Amino acid sequence: MTSDDGQRNGEISEETIARFLEGGNGDVLTDMLVSALNEAGRFLREEMPAETRH
């Protein structure tokens, strides 16, 4: 994601979330968040040694 000032920081600003919701794009926002969580899960499975998982 790119912040309102143009910097890439990996986070969605509250203003961006509000724009999605006001524009009736709640489903798009949900899809983006689910995709990000899936990607984080894949990263953790690939990068974290099995013996350190709880």
Q: Provide the pLDDT for residue 3.
A: 42
Tally of domains within the chain: 1
Query: What is the structure's pLDDT at 10?
Result: 66
At 17, the amino acid letter reads: I
Task: Give the model's pLDDT for residue 48.
Answer: 72
Residue 38, pLDDT score? 93
Residue 39 falls inside a structural domain: yes
Q: Which domain holds residue 33?
A: 14-52
Distance from C-alpha of 18 to C-alpha of 24, rounded to nearest angstrom: 10
Q: Is residue 42 part of a domain?
A: yes
d(CA 8, CA 25): 22
Q: What's the pLDDT tens digit per position in 9-36?
A: 567 788 888 887 888 878 888 888 899 9
Binned at pLDDT 50, 70 and 90, residue 50 comes out as low
